């Protein structure tokens, strides 16, 4: 199904629900997306990890995880990916974020809106002041997305387990985000 750009402004995030789990598993099992995110083609989560995630979702407590939704006036809600935050440093008011869209939703501007929604939540509701992420240096598509969202490269780190892999560390400060959203 083709999603037209008229629906882009109807992107929103919400906590995951039990009916979302099968979509998360599908996204986690996309080999090329795993390669882009993790630098390995078979970076699937273990069965125990999926079971634990499902248990947390069933209990209604999955801190930091959000399902990215797209509203279509004819179809209704469409699950297109997930976005999350982790590694919150409350002293430095800093947090790490990560995003994954299903491959058929790449290149439609959905990621930019979802990142904006999450950053607004983290900066204005949680009181954090900086968000950061890491991305493989070979993943130029993602780097361009993060730059469009206002992130800038702050560091590069070699992967200790795969020396041929370099991670680009990017961050955005709340003040820059505020200037971009006005």
This prediction has a pTM of 0.87
Torsion of CA 15, 92, 138, 16, to 10 degrees: -10
Tokens 């900086």 — which residue?
130
Query: What confidence score (pLDDT) does residue 111 get?
Result: 94
Question: What are the pLDDT tens digits along the chain (182 aa)?
Answer: 344 444 445 899 999 999 999 999 888 888 777 767 766 656 667 788 888 888 999 998 889 999 999 987 777 789 999 999 999 999 999 999 999 999 889 888 899 999 999 999 999 999 999 999 999 999 999 999 999 999 999 999 998 888 788 999 999 999 999 988 75
Nearest alpha carbon to residue 172 among 76, 59, 95, 85: 95
Domain spans, the chain: 7-181
Return the CATH number of 7-181, one of 3.40.50.150, 1.10.645.10, 3.40.190.80, 3.40.630.30: 3.40.630.30
């Amino acid at each position: 199904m083709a999603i037209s750009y008229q629906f882009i402004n109807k992107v929103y995030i919400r906590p995951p629900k039990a009916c979302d789990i099968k979509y998360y598993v599908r996204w986690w099992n996309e080999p090329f997306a795993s390669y882009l995110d993790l630098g390995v083609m078979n970076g699937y989560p273990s069965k125990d990890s999926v079971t634990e995630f499902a248990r947390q979702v069933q209990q209604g407590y999955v801190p930091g995880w959000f399902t990215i939704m797209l509203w279509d006036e004819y179809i209704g809600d469409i699950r297109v990916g997930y976005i999350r935050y982790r590694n919150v440093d409350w002293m430095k008011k800093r947090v790490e974020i990560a995003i994954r869209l299903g491959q058929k939703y790449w290149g439609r501007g959905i990621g930019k809106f979802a990142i904006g929604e999450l950053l607004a939540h983290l900066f204005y509701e949680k009181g954090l002041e900086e968000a950061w992420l890491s991305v493989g240096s070979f993943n130029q598509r993602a780097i361009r997305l993060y730059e469009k969202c206002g992130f800038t490269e702050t560091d590069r780190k070699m992967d200790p387990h795969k020396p041929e892999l370099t991670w680009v560390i990017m961050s955005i400060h709340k003040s820059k985000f505020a200037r971009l959203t006005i």
